Amino acid sequence: MKRVVVTGMGVVSPLGNSVDELWKNILAGKSGVGPITKFDSTKFKTHFACEVKDFNAEDYVEKKEVRKYDVYTQYAIAASDQAIQAAGLDFSTMSEEDRCEVGVIWATGNGGIGTFEQQLKEYHLGDGTPRFSPYFIPKMIVDIAAGVISIRNSLHGPNYCTVSACASSNTAIISAFDTIRLGKANIMIAGGSEAAITDSSVGGFNAAQALSKRNDDPERASRPFDKDRDGFVIAEGAAALILEDYDYAIARGATIYGEMVGGGMAADAYHLTGTHPQGLGAVQGMKKALKDAGIQPEQIDYINAHATSTGLGDLSELLGIKKVFNDAPVLISGTKSMTGHLLGAAGALEAVISVLSAQHDMVPGTTNTETLDESIPEGLHIVLGKSVAKKINYVMNNTFGFGGHTATSIFKKYEGK
Which residues are known catalytic residues? 166, 306, 341
Q: Are 247 and 161 in contact, with CB atoms under 8 Å apart? A: no
Element containing residue 48 per DSSP (H, E): strand 48-49
In the three-class reduction of DSSP (H, G, I as helix; E, B as strand; rest coil), residue 84 is classed as helix
| Beta partners for residue 389, in sequence order | 362
Q: Are 188 and 206 in contact, with CB atoms under 8 Å apart? A: no
In the three-class reduction of DSSP (H, G, I as helix; E, B as strand; rest coil), residue 202 is classed as helix
Residue type at position 141 = I
- C-alpha span between 369 and 184 (Å, rounded): 44
Integer angstrom CA distances of residue 155 from 20, 80, 139, 178, 186: 27, 13, 20, 18, 12
Nearest to 178 by CA among 287, 303, 265, 82: 265
**How buried is residue 73: exposed, middle or buried, by Cβ count under 10 Å (0-12/13-18/19+)?**
buried
Q: Are 162 and 107 in contact, with CB atoms under 8 Å apart? A: yes
Concatenated DSSP letters for 168-190?
Answer: HHHHHHHHHHHHHHTTS-SEEEE
- C-alpha span between 9 and 351 (Å, rounded): 10
Q: Give the largest CA-CA distance in the chain.
A: 67
Q: Are 241 and 352 in contact, with CB atoms under 8 Å apart? A: yes
- C-alpha span between 69 and 66 (Å, rounded): 6
Strands 159-162 and 187-194 come out as unpaired
Q: First CA to last CA across the chain, in angstroms?
A: 17
* Strands (E) located in 358-415: 362-363, 381-382, 388-389, 394-401, 405-412
Sign of the dihedral through C-alpha 37, 41, 47, 51: negative
Residue type at position 182 = L
